[in-house]
Amino acid sequence: MTRCIRAFAALVVLAAAACGGGGPSGPPVRFTVPPSSGLSAVADTLAARDIVPSASRFKIYARTRGAAARIQPGVYEVQRGTAFSEILRKLTTGDVVRTRVVIPEGWTIQQIAPRLATAAGIPADSALKLLQGEDAAKRRKVPGPTLEGYLYPATYVFPLGTSVDRMVDQMVGRYRRAWTPAMRARAQALGMDEREVVTLASIVEREAKVWSERPTIAAVYHNRLRVGMRLQADPTVQYALGGNRARLLYRDIDSVADNPYNTYRHAGLPPGPIASPSTGAIQATLNPAAGDYLYFVARPNGTHVFTRTLAEHNAAKRASQAEARAAR
């Protein structure tokens, strides 16, 4: 007799689930299923949020479907009145709330950290500490010295509440996949290691406003390195200063004279990347344009004038300044 009653109760619950409790209504209600959370705790949460009318009925339904052990942790959203079958589908497939994180090309760790922090639900300064530590780079076996330059710029979709560490793992994984065997062979042919390529690519990325100019900008820096000229790249000084200045002055350059990222004062490449370069910037660095340009100057429209001698460069600067005055 008792078995018959239980079977009848289960059939009632299944019928109620099929009906969906009158249908979903109202805004989605958000709730969290912690790791290792049991069916009873989940059912109690659903009932407390008025997502289901009865915790016991939901538990009976879940057990009759053999789903009690398949519930996955995460942050979920469900409307009140949603059918038990749909709620259980979400819980057992991990159909959690997700957040979209966009990392543009040429962004620094300082810019990336707040976006990851928002997605992870932690303070921005806590995320920044996780990204800036040298141990974080060593653990993921990237050239370093920190994660700067190795957080690949792209659009990511993470489950809400994903830790910064897991986000970084995905971003570094995306960076690794961007490197093909042909690219590594090309770097070797240029006599450059991975860190040197990414470092130079990050400078090219920050300098280029028009992407078609990236191979020519890369050529200028390759030529300078070859003849022993200092790179004198404004973005490296901006990096040493800790942020962009609308206009870089000589006193700004002098204020960070001892900083190894100041390529006006120190020869060669800086110690590491200054931003996250795109695959396009890396490809431009590996395949610079032909030519013997040693200088370039920005025009008001974002393009550059490339020159071979200092006299030509100074003339181009004067022309650019005149163009800017005329535009004002």
Comparison of pLDDT for 324 and 53, the residue scoring more: 53
Token code pair at residue 206: 């920050």
CA distances in angstroms from 58 to 77, 166, 181, listed in the order given: 17, 33, 53
Worst-scoring range by mean pLDDT, 43-52, 55-64, 238-247? Answer: 238-247
197 and 244 assigned to the same domain: yes
Give the residue from 160, 178, 196 where a domain finishes.
178
C-alpha Rg value of the chain to the nearest Å: 28
pLDDT at 248: 82
Give a yes or no: residue 310 inside a domain: no
**Mean pLDDT value across residues 26-51:** 93
Three-state secondary structure call for residue 271: coil
pLDDT at 151 over 60: yes
Q: How confident is the prediction for the chain on average, in pLDDT?
A: 91
pLDDT at 205 over 80: yes
pTM: 0.83
- Beta strand segments in the chain, E: 25-33, 74-80, 98-102, 155-159, 295-298, 304-307
Comparison of pLDDT for 323 and 230, the residue scoring more: 230
Domain count, the chain: 3
**Domain containing 138 — which CATH number?**
3.30.1490
282 and 185 assigned to the same domain: yes
**Mean pLDDT value across residues 119-135:** 90
pLDDT band at 6 (very low <50, low <70, confident <90, very high): low
pLDDT band at 18 (very low <50, low <70, confident <90, very high): very low
Worst-scoring range by mean pLDDT, 17-31, 47-61, 132-146, 198-212? Answer: 17-31
281 and 201 assigned to the same domain: yes
Give a yes or no: residue 318 inside a domain: no
147 and 195 assigned to the same domain: no
**Domain containing 86 — which CATH number?**
3.30.1490.480
pLDDT band at 3 (very low <50, low <70, confident <90, very high): low
In percent, the amount of the chain with pLDDT more than 90 equals: 79
pLDDT at 19: 43
Structure-token match 């396009």, residue found: 280
Give a yes or no: residue 55 inside a domain: yes
31 and 121 assigned to the same domain: no
